[in-house]
Amino acid sequence: MASGWKSVLSQVVSTVVREAGRAASRPTRRPSPAAPRRAPLPPPGAPARRSAAGDFTGRGEISYAPREDGRPDPGEVVWAWVPFEEGDGRGKDRPVLVVGRHGEDLLGLMLTSKDHDRDAADEARHGRVWVDIGSGDWDRQGRPSEVRVDRVLLMGTDDVRREGAVLDRRRFDRVAAEARRVLGW
């Protein structure tokens, strides 16, 4: 029994050391909390870049094209690892609404079940914009969700852990309209 715990402890220590090394190699400069965290948009046609946080910094196109083919498509809510904005290697497995493609990669907007209406002024002060979409099959507990439209994620199809559900066209169009307004697309 003791050797089993030593093995588990050894694996945990190895993981912590590896992640600490990754975090130490990233830049530590962070934007001011009062400033919006969106970089200026490059000109149309400029190549996309994936930042250390997985944020999309290019100009994208939003589309709705869900298909029942077992692969993630625009209009579907999928589950993927979403890095925290701090870019320190931490993140969370969470639902993401796929809103388009950039080459072979996916463009996504993260979802949360936290109600940001209660702290709307603070969210706005930090440049975060949320759209209520209600509940759906992506959340096993049936909780209402919100989509963050000011932060676009660039994900490879292999970053998607599983598909959750298709968002109906009416709700998708409401999210898309607000995302286009906020992002200037």
List the chain pLDDT tens, one digit each, 185 residues: 556 666 666 665 666 556 655 555 444 433 333 333 333 444 455 444 443 337 898 889 999 999 988 899 999 999 998 888 776 677 888 999 999 999 989 999 999 998 887 788 888 888 899 999 999 999 999 999 999 999 999 999 888 988 889 999 999 999 999 999 999 99
pLDDT of residue 18: 63
pLDDT of residue 30: 37
pLDDT of residue 4: 67
Contact 116, 157 (CB under 8 A): no
pLDDT of residue 22: 55
pLDDT of residue 92: 87
pLDDT of residue 125: 84
CA distances (Å), origin 66, targets 6, 7, 102, 135: 47, 44, 16, 18
pLDDT of residue 164: 83
pLDDT of residue 168: 97
Segment holding 131, helix H or strand E:
strand 130-134
Please calculate the CA angle 58-126-124 and round it to the nearest 5 degrees. 100
pLDDT of residue 19: 61
